[in-house]
Structures are given as structure tokens and as C-alpha cells.
Amino acid sequence: MPRARLLICIRLPAPGGHAPLHSAPWQLVTPPGHAPAALGHGAGGWALPTAPPCTRPRPLSCLAPPLSYKCKRSAPPPAGPAPPSAMAAGVRAPPGPMALPLCPSLPLCPSLPLALALLALLALPLSAVSPPGPEEQLVAEAPRWGWRNVSCPACRVLFGALDLALQLEPNVARVGRVASRLCQELRLARPPVCRQAVQLFQGDVVAAWARSVLRPPEACGLLLGPSCGHWDILGAWNLSLPAAPKPPVRPPTPPPPGAPTARILFLTDLHWDRQYVPGSAAACPDPLCCRGAPREGPAVAGFWGTYSKCDLPLHTIDALTSNGTGFAAAYWTGDIPAHDVWQQSRGDQLRALRTVTALLRARLGGLRVFPAVGNHEATPVNAFPPPYVRGNRSAAWLYDAMAEAWQDWLPPAALHTLRAGGFYTAQVWPGLRLVSLNMNFCSQANFWLLINATDPAGQLQWLMGVLADAERDGEKVHIIGHIPPAHCLRSWSWNYYRIVNRFEGTIAAQFFGHTHVDEFELFYDEETLSRPVSIAFVAPSVTTYINLNPGYRVYQVAGSYPGSSHAVLDHETFILNLTEANAAPPGTPPRWQRLYSAREAYGLPTAFPADWDQLVRRMQDDEQLFQLFWFHLNKGHPPREPCGSPCKAALLCALRSGRAGDPALCRPLRPALPFPRIQELWHQRRLC
């Protein structure tokens, strides 16, 4: 007897999202090319009126509202062959109680496998399911991870299905096999990737959703932005700033002649792939390549790295760190493991943490290293539950291992807060304090924030206390973190922006990574949004992922002397030209070369926030200067397609945006594109 295949009715909240689940309309989910047919079950069935088949080119285009098909209750299907309309369309009509053999008493339990199949998207590049349009040069070559892979309609299907299925089938593991099969039939990935991704993500996502009070549209608004839904329940929140008045603002000034300076090594996004094999395939159907047996052909992995969707072998990272002399300190902002996020175990993550930490300790000698937590340190990727989540699903396994690995670099008080929430503060040298933030508590990709996104772990409240103490004691502060502030959830980002404004006289510099490219985010005074008050430097990655040269950053800062600003005076970016390095004879040490100095390349009088603000304004009218910046942004290996007008508008807007979702920050640029389109283009390039 024939079975139903991928023809499922799912009840979803209506657009707007306020109808209770039991009153929501039924909507059809059907793959491309399949005409609607009757779906029978038990004593009755759900019948679908005749309608043309879905002809959209990608399966996920059909997995979402609004759809014109509605399910209606029908009489039991007659025994015998399928109805003529279904036969004519080439679709087998389900036979009734045998249609869904894994759950004969639950007519809608397939909604959970379907939802879990969509979870496979969290480990797939977006380019596999949604190729970019011709104007999207900014993102043309970059696969993206996490919720950015999921369209708004697919997100609503996912959480609508989870919401219903959790009422009908609490045994997630039992339907995981069906989820994997659906993932394969929807061609979301190769079968092994489907199986592993569903198995890895299902437990944490379902656990977080089960504790959440959000409805599907609100959850998708939280994860994907306001264009996908409103999330007022856990949306806007504001922290109270300290009662002490803000000190008078003093414009930054260059250090006096002959004042000491210090060089700080900055490493981010190393992404060591322990399965990297020189000579293996550089092009593959999986999200990460350059693995497996060596092969013949032009597209093979180079010895030092590869211009493709590949991470780095350990010997390349080792060659980089052998240059670690002449520095006063090192800042290291996370993302240690590779991008094989569909198959990572906790043991894999801890092995990467310990191996790379040991390498840095050996190569950098007695240099003090100040780390920050990246989003790839966890498994599943981006899964950072707040401290109130206890037991096996907590992040204690990771934080405890970090505290053990980094205990030689950090004082006991810092290790205490690191174990509690993944953040800490420590003195770099007299007069300079460092704050390392766990930016996963602001991340849109952290599905644990579905439970409560209001200042997770009290980190921002803690930050204000540290800054207030530093202000009182006359210390300057460097802030490091992985995810840049403008990439954060809106309320978190705006509260952080307020804190930076309040403590602009104390915060000497901000340093982040995560995007893999070379950029920055400006902060302006809240009253007029015209006076630059701070800048968050976003440094390029060590990894090549994707189609980049390996790179690292060196910051020159005002050194330790009475009255030092400890501000950034300049920065230099170094790269390994893979074309040259891989072409050299075997055994030749790689040559890391200086790509550029910021002040030299861009003609900056100083490297204070006002200079970077002027650079953005100059790039708007000076196309040659902008293309130089674009070349540097991509570490000397830009995409094949040039950055045209839409790309340029989105990039310049992002450089002015130290907080998320504020069109006012872009208005001085007079962009030709509407702000929602600018946001869409810029959000699509968030690949990490």
C-alpha cells in the first residue's frame, strides 16, 4: 500500500501571531512539483481543495505561509485507488491509517520531524538553499551559519511545528530518524550531514523552546529581526545607568613626544581543522572542505591553506605564532574549532581548546594572553544557556575547561566569573584594565535566549560596575569580545551603546572579531548622533574561511605612563599570501607580510574615532579610496564580483552603526537604498 511522502498539514499562527494555537488556520506544506491531494488518517481525514502545484525552484520556498491552500475536515477517504485528480497529477493519495506508520494515533506528529529536519539548516551554508541575487556582491561567496540560514516563513514553520508537536509527541529521539529522512528528501544536505545535524541540535533547541513563553512569530522576530515578527514580551528593556554624574568630556589628544607605546597582538577566529589534509578536495557539497584523502585535480587543498570553504591546518597557526615577539600583551577573541558544526562533540571542542591554548603558550612564551569566548566554542554551535540553566545542558563543561586551560594567564577573581558566565576583568598593566565579554549572551543565533533575552547572566550590569570602579580609580579600559555589538540583539546592543556613551572617558578601545573580515563600528553621542565617541575595531580572521588569506592584527596603543590614554594610535594587518606560500618549494617557511597600516593607507591624522568617521565620509565620494578599503576588508583577496552601489551603501552604513537596527545612524550618508534593504544585505553576510 503506498505511503504519504512529504505532504503534511501544519497548523500555524496567523500572520500577526496573536491567535492561539488551537484557533490557527491549517496550511499546506508540500514540496515543489507535488499537487495537493487528500491526506487521510484514521476515521477521518484532511482534504485539500484542488490547486496548482508549487513551482518555486527551492524546496524551502514552499515550506511557509502565506499559502493559498487551506486544510478542511473531510469524510473518511474511500477504500480503493487514489482519486482521479491525484492520479492525474502523479501524486499518490495517502491510504488512511497506514499513511504515517510511525505514529498511527497522532495525525500530526510529522510536524516535529519536519521541524527537526529544518534544524539541519543550522549546519548548512545559505548559498545551498538561497543563492544571492545579482546585486548582492557583498555576500556572493559567503555561506552563512545559524538562524540566518532560515527564511522568515521557514522559521515560522519550524516553531509552529515544534509548538504543536511538543503537545503530541514528547519523545524527540524517536522521531529524529524521521527528521533525518525528511531532511534528505528535501535535499537540505547529504544524508550523513542531515543525520548528524538533527541529532546534534534537536535536544537543545527543543529544550529551549519548551521553556520559552514566546509564540512562533515572536521567536522568529527575536532570532531574525523585526521584519519577521514582534517580540514585545521579551523585547525592549533598559538598564539603569549609575547615579554618579558623567565626568566632563575631554577630546582625545595624541601622546606627548617620546611617550612610550605598546604593541598588542590580536588573534581571532583561528578555526583549526584537525581533519585538514593538503591535497584533498577544495570543492565539496559539505559546508566544510579540504578534508579526506588526497586527490588529483586543480581544486585541491594547499599545504598552508586554501581559497575555499576551508579552515586551517595546525601548522599554519603554528607558523603565525612563531612571529610572537615584541608584544606587550595578546588579545585572543575566540572561535577555535573548525566549521564542521554538524558533527562536533564536547570532546572535539575541548580538544581544540586545549591544543591551541598549549600552542599559544609554547610559542608566545611568557607573553600574557587575554582570551574571550567565541560562538564556535560550544556544541551545538551558538548554544550558550544562561547560568540559570543547570545540569547537563548548562555551559559549565566549557567554562570550567577554559578556566583550567587559562589559569596561568588570569587571576583567581577573573577565573571565578569565567566559570560562572564566560566573562571576566583583569589588569593588563597599571592604569589599564581589560574586560572580556561573553558576546554569545547578545547573539541572535543563541536559541537559549528564546527563554529570556534580558541581560543574560547580568553581564551588562556587571560591566557597568567594573567601568564605574575603573572611572573612580582613574583606570582606562580595553573591552574585548567575539561578536561585534551591532551584530547583537537590538535591546542588548542599544543598552551597550548607552554604556559606551556614559563611560566614553574610561573606555579607551574596543576589540572584536567574528566576521572574518577587516572592518569597524562607530559609536556616536546619543544626543545628536554626530560626535564620534568610540570605535569598535573588528579584526580579520586567522582562518581562510571563506576565500580569504590567513591574517592577524597588531595594535599600537599608548603605553604605560602617568596620564596615558591607552588609546589605539594605529594598527597593522598582516597576511599570508596563499598563492605565494603554496607555490614555494616544500619546507620553505611561509612569509607573513604586512598588508597595510591604517594611518598610512587611509591618510589618518590619528586613529581616534573622529578620524574613522571622516574616513567613512570620504569613502562615500572617493571611489578609489573605498575600493582600497574593500581590498583590505577582504584581506587582499576580494570576491570576484566588485562591491557595487548596494554593497557600498550597506557597508558604509554598517561602519557607522555601533548599535543594531538604527536608521538614524545611516541618514548622514543619504543612501539610495531603503534602510530595510540595507539591513537585509548586511545581515546576509554574517557568516559566522
Distance from C-alpha of 490 to C-alpha of 496, rounded to nearest angstrom: 10
Q: Please provide the DSSP assignment of 462-502 as one string.
A: HHHHHHHHHHHHT-EEEEE-SS-GGGB-HHHHHHHHHHHHH
Q: So what's the pLDDT on residue 175?
A: 55
Distance from C-alpha of 569 to C-alpha of 582, rounded to nearest angstrom: 34
Distance from C-alpha of 215 to C-alpha of 157, rounded to nearest angstrom: 12
Residues 480, 538: contact at Cβ < 8 Å?
no
318 and 224 within one domain: no
In one-letter notation, the amino acid at residue 654 is A
Copy the grid coordinates of residue 483: 561578536
Indicate if the alpha-carbon torsion angle 188, 189, 192, 198 is positive or negative. Answer: negative
Distance from C-alpha of 191 to C-alpha of 286, rounded to nearest angstrom: 11
Higher pLDDT, 73 or 580: 580
271 and 126 within one domain: no
Please count the other Cβ atoms lying within 10 Å of the Cβ belonging to residue 318. Answer: 14
- Which run of H or E residues covers position 414? helix 412-421
Burial class (CB in 10 A: 0-12, 13-18, 19+), 390: exposed
367 and 326 within one domain: yes
Q: So what's the pLDDT on residue 675?
A: 83
Higher pLDDT, 591 or 225: 591
Q: So what's the pLDDT on residue 59?
A: 30
Higher pLDDT, 110 or 183: 183
pLDDT tens per residue, range 594-620: 999 999 999 999 999 999 999 999 999
506 and 357 within one domain: yes
pLDDT band at 135 (very low <50, low <70, confident <90, very high): very low
Lowest mean pLDDT, pick from 114-123, 273-282, 305-314, 360-369 = 114-123
609 and 548 within one domain: yes
| Residue tagged 529536519 (cell numbers) | 117
317 and 173 within one domain: no
Distance from C-alpha of 174 to C-alpha of 192, rounded to nearest angstrom: 18
Residue 267 lies in a domain: yes
Please count the other Cβ atoms lying within 10 Å of the Cβ belonging to residue 44. Answer: 14
pLDDT band at 661 (very low <50, low <70, confident <90, very high): confident
Share of the chain above pLDDT 70, in %: 72
| Residue tagged 604605560 (cell numbers) | 560
- The torsion angle over the Cα atoms of residues 452, 456, 460 and 466, rounded to 10 degrees, is 150
- The pLDDT mean for the chain works out to 79
Lowest mean pLDDT, pick from 76-85, 334-343, 463-472 = 76-85
Residues 653, 666: contact at Cβ < 8 Å?
yes
Distance from C-alpha of 264 to C-alpha of 511, rounded to nearest angstrom: 11
Query: Would you say residue 313 has pLDDT above 70?
Result: yes
Burial class (CB in 10 A: 0-12, 13-18, 19+), 337: buried
Q: What DSSP character marks residue 554?
A: E
Q: So what's the pLDDT on residue 618?
A: 98
Q: So what's the pLDDT on residue 450?
A: 82
Q: So what's the pLDDT on residue 179?
A: 65
> What is the CATH classification number for the domain harbouring 347?
3.60.21.10
User: Quick one: average pLDDT of 503-518?
Assistant: 98
Share of the chain above pLDDT 90, in %: 57
Residue 1 lies in a domain: no
563 CB-near residues (< 8 Å, 6+ apart): none
User: Quick one: average pLDDT of 121-133?
Assistant: 41
Residue 639 lies in a domain: yes
User: Quick one: average pLDDT of 98-119?
Assistant: 39
Instruction: Report helix, strand or coil for 99.
Output: coil
Residue 233 lies in a domain: no
Maximal CA-CA distance, the chain: 94
Residue 436 lies in a domain: yes
Please count the other Cβ atoms lying within 10 Å of the Cβ belonging to residue 686. Answer: 20
Residue 426 lies in a domain: yes
Closest CA to 157 of 131, 194, 184, 186: 186
What are the C-alpha distances in Å from 57 to residues 5, 119, 134, 462? Answer: 19, 21, 17, 49
pLDDT band at 78 (very low <50, low <70, confident <90, very high): very low
Query: Would you say residue 496 has pLDDT above 90?
Result: yes
Query: Would you say residue 405 has pLDDT above 90?
Result: yes
DSSP strand pairing (519-524 vs 507-512): unpaired
DSSP strand pairing (532-538 vs 72-74): unpaired
What are the C-alpha distances in Å from 489 to residues 272, 327, 451, 581, 635? Answer: 28, 35, 14, 40, 28
Closest CA to 179 of 109, 95, 94: 109
Give the domain extent around 15: 8-228
Q: So what's the pLDDT on residue 131?
A: 36
Residue 667 lies in a domain: yes
Query: Would you say residue 438 has pLDDT above 90?
Result: yes
Distance from C-alpha of 196 to C-alpha of 112, rounded to nearest angstrom: 17
Query: Would you say residue 264 has pLDDT above 80?
Result: yes
Closest CA to 163 of 124, 127, 217: 217
pLDDT band at 216 (very low <50, low <70, confident <90, very high): confident
pLDDT band at 423 (very low <50, low <70, confident <90, very high): very high
Q: Please provide the distance, in angstroms rounded to a whole number, between the alpha carbons at the two ends of the chain.
A: 46
Query: Would you say residue 101 has pLDDT above 90?
Result: no
265 and 152 within one domain: no
Copy the grid coordinates of residue 201: 541540535
Distance from C-alpha of 221 to C-alpha of 228, rounded to nearest angstrom: 5
pLDDT tens per residue, range 440-456: 999 988 989 888 889 99
Lowest mean pLDDT, pick from 36-45, 473-482, 532-541 = 36-45
pLDDT tens per residue, range 45-73: 333 233 333 332 223 222 333 322 233 33
Residue 253 lies in a domain: no
Query: Would you say residue 5 has pLDDT above 90?
Result: no
268 and 170 within one domain: no
641 and 545 within one domain: yes
| Residue tagged 559567503 (cell numbers) | 142
193 and 84 within one domain: yes
676 and 547 within one domain: yes
Order across the sheet with 72-74: list the strands.
39-41, 44-47, 72-74
Print burial letters for 149-171: b (CB count within 10 Å at least 16), e (below 16): bbbbbbbbbbbbbbbbbbeebee
485 and 602 within one domain: yes
Q: Please provide the DSSP assignment of 113-181 as one string.
A: HHHHHHHGGGGS-GGGTSPPPTT-GGGTT----GGGGS-HHHHHHHHHHHHHHHHH---HHHHHHHHHH
Contacts 24+ apart (CB under 8 A), 181-184: 181/113, 182/6, 182/110, 182/113, 182/114, 182/117, 183/116, 183/117, 183/120
Q: What secondary structure, in 3-state letters, does 181-250 show?
A: HHHHHCCCCCHHHHHHHHHHHHHHHHHHHHHCCCCHHHHHHHHHCHHHCCCCCCCCCCCCCCCCCCCCCC
Number of domains in the chain: 2
What are the C-alpha distances in Å from 77 to residues 42, 107, 484? Answer: 9, 14, 56
What are the C-alpha distances in Å from 572 to residues 254, 518, 541, 556, 595? Answer: 18, 11, 14, 8, 8
Task: Calculate the CA 241 to chain-centre distance.
Answer: 29
Q: Please provide the DSSP assignment of 636-679 as one string.
A: T---SS---HHHHHHHHHHHT-SSTT-GGGTGGG--SS-HHHHH
